A and B are shown apart, each in its own frame.
Chain A
Amino acid sequence: MEKILQVKDLELSFNTYGGEVKAIRGVNFDLYKGETLAIVGESGSGKSVTTKSIMRLLPEESAEFKSGEILFGGRDLTKLSDKEMQKIRGKDISMIFQDPMTSLNPTMPVGRQITEPILKHQNINKDEAKKLAIDLLRLVGMPKPELRMKQYPHQFSGGQRQRIVIAIALACNPQILIADEPTTALDVTIQAQILELMKDLQKKIDTSIIFITHDLGVVANVADRVAVMYGGKIVEIGTVDEIFYNPQHPYTWGLLSSMPSMDAEDAKLYAIPGTPPDLLNPPKGDAFALRSEYAMKIDMEQSPPFFKVSDTHMAATWLLHPEAPAVEPPEMVIERMKKFPGSRYYEGSAN
């Protein structure tokens, strides 16, 4: 498969009054054409910062690339000038934000907000851009698009506004669409509609999607591959089945265990103990070690490298080291692994 975006050893820090906050500490991943890569992790894990750094949307006075590169179309995005970046934003890479209530300009008719990137990046006149915008509104399922072009954001509901934001993002048929928790601010029924719409549109325009979320239910619904982030690093990456049914990293175990399940017997929901690490002084070893009951001595000393589980599946945990003692994952994870061919708990097909 064709790699459309490569993030290599990316390190990024924020310079604050308190000191240097190491928000991204060596992130590696590839994005393939037409796939949906979900990045999951709790607040502060660096998932939003990673994608915002791809778009270079972080405040330039405080955010600083320390090392690594972001390769897109043969160019390193970390090195481009503002002007060059402006040509890529909204055209080749575009973004959908979390809160549709605040991400549209309240004093500009939505029609103009949609035509803006079209006029900016495509060589067409205003009338053609308007027609295109109406088509886009129709594409995202907005009834009476001609009438609604002249209206202002406050005249739309939250779900409709997110549809408009999606229309803006898709205006120039981007190669990469970054969706930063696009359904978090919406209520559940609207969430499902927006997810369906995104899947539908992805097929139509053949774009790759980076989908940031902390909702594993959403991940299972949309993603082809999943990257789990913790403390500014990716700790596990694999296909959606590998992450859900053969997870290797204790943090992934924790995440999966804290997911509400229909057939869970005990009513109490699991929560990972402790708080995320302070990235002003990141821990020396495995960032998750202090919260993990599976932590070993080496986890406190050295940060684990990636161990290959399969061709598509890697996890950064010392538990995968040949000399590590075998440990039992949590009950719930074992239940999941039983269904996965290739895992050590596989019991054959269910029937």
Chain B
Amino acid sequence: MARYIGKRLIYMFITLALIATFTFFLMKILPGSPIASADKLSPEQRAVVEARYGLDQPLPVQYFDYMFGLLRGDLGISINQFKGANVTDVILSRMGPSAQIGFQGMLLGTVLGILFGMVAALRQNTWVDYGSTIVAIIGISIPSFVFASMLQYWFGLKWDLFPVALWKDGFMSSVLPSIALAMFPLATAARFIRTEMIEVLGSDYITLAKAKGASGSEIAFKHAFRNALIPLITVLGPMAVSILTGSLVVEQIFAIPGIGEQFVKSIMVNDFSIIMGTTIFFSVFLIVVILIVDILYGVIDPRIRLSGGKN
């Protein structure tokens, strides 16, 4: 197990280096300059500013500078969006709200999704099943920004239950964005669990469990549930991506001072080091999620438990 994780960490490192390299050169190809109102500056002024951020160096030098900085954990400094602030500090200070709504959304989505899926499978072809199917279809087909606006309108404006936007009332402010983020994981989990539960409930070992005298709930929870979970883990990775990309939009709509909101703004103002830093941060996040998913597989399904430990 330790050896496996070690190997995975090396791959993760290589993947990150590649992502950093690609992003770096893509950024350089893009037109535009991070220096605000560059046109108004005299060539001398411009040279001073560029020298300050190392933009006057030849491209390879800039690249290796950046990569070595990355190795030391230095993501550089913000060029214009946060005027000279350390990128790492910017990301860390923005992480809190993003992590909170992301975690709440994911938790709410998967738990409710699993519940909906289970109930739908156990009450197959009843109104409960159809209801859960409709919720799932809505969750997959309505984009999060439409859903977010609807939540703002009904729960924020009309019924005045939660703040419409801004990050001022702590948990209350996080409710609507979390729900908006939860829709996709909820729908995905519900569909997956329903399909898988129905298949598992028809399998021989469930008949054997019944033949042992197990009751309906024992069959559903002790025997079927864990087996039905296995394919859901596969989509946990994509779900995490949906939370990330979702948060770009949702944070904008709800004006949450999170990483997503800051990322979108940094792209608009061409803040090179912030874009790089955030991309790398997101990449690390995703790669770690994928590693966790792979480890979870083994925890839930003994057949693919990673070797190294014997048995």
The verdict on B227 contacting chain A, using a C-beta distance below 8 Å, is: yes
Question: Please, how many angstroms separate the alpha-carbon atoms of A108 and B227 in the complex?
Answer: 10
A residues whose Cβ falls under 8 Å from a Cβ of B: 55, 57, 82-83, 86-91, 94-95, 97, 99, 102-108, 116-117, 120-121, 150-152, 154-155, 165, 168-169
Report chain A residues within 8 Å CB of B302.
106-107, 152, 154
Report chain A residues within 8 Å CB of B227.
105-107
Q: Can you give 30 contacting A-B residue pairs, CB < 8 Å?
A: A57-B207, A82-B216, A89-B212, A90-B212, A94-B212, A97-B204, A97-B207, A103-B208, A104-B205, A104-B208, A105-B205, A105-B223, A105-B227, A106-B205, A106-B227, A106-B301, A106-B302, A106-B303, A107-B227, A107-B230, A107-B300, A108-B226, A116-B212, A117-B213, A120-B212, A120-B214, A121-B213, A150-B311, A152-B303, A154-B303
Question: Please, how many angstroms separate the alpha-carbon atoms of A198 and B271 in the complex?
Answer: 76
The verdict on B203 contacting chain A, using a C-beta distance below 8 Å, is: yes
Quick one: which of A55, A86, A102, A169 contacts B214, CB cutoff 8 A? A86
Report chain A residues within 8 Å CB of B216.
82
Question: In terms of DSSP, what is the predominant structure of the interface of chain A?
Answer: mixed
Residues of B within 8 A of A (CB-CB), count: 23
Report chain B residues within 8 Å CB of A89.
210-213
The verdict on B209 contacting chain A, using a C-beta distance below 8 Å, is: yes
Distance in Å: Cβ of A300 to nearest Cβ of chain B: 39
Asked if B303 and A102 make an inter-chain contact with CB atoms under 8 angstroms apart, the answer reads no
The verdict on B215 contacting chain A, using a C-beta distance below 8 Å, is: yes
Asked if A107 and B208 make an inter-chain contact with CB atoms under 8 angstroms apart, the answer reads no
Report chain A residues within 8 Å CB of B209.
105, 116
Distance in Å: Cβ of A111 to nearest Cβ of chain B: 13
Residue ID in chain A nearest B206 by CB atoms: A105
Given the interface pairs A105-B223, A106-B301, A151-B311, the reply to whether A88 lies near B213 with Cβ below 8 Å is: yes
Asked if B211 and A55 make an inter-chain contact with CB atoms under 8 angstroms apart, the answer reads yes
Asked if A108 and B223 make an inter-chain contact with CB atoms under 8 angstroms apart, the answer reads yes
Report chain A residues within 8 Å CB of B211.
55, 57, 89-90, 94-95, 97, 169
Considering the complex, which residues of chain B in the window 175-206 have a beta carbon less than 8 Å from any beta carbon of chain A?
Answer: 203-205
Report chain B residues within 8 Å CB of A155.
311
Distance in Å: Cβ of A58 to nearest Cβ of chain B: 10
Question: Please, how many angstroms separate the alpha-carbon atoms of A62 and B151 in the complex?
Answer: 43
Question: Please, how many angstroms separate the alpha-carbon atoms of A151 and B303 in the complex?
Answer: 11
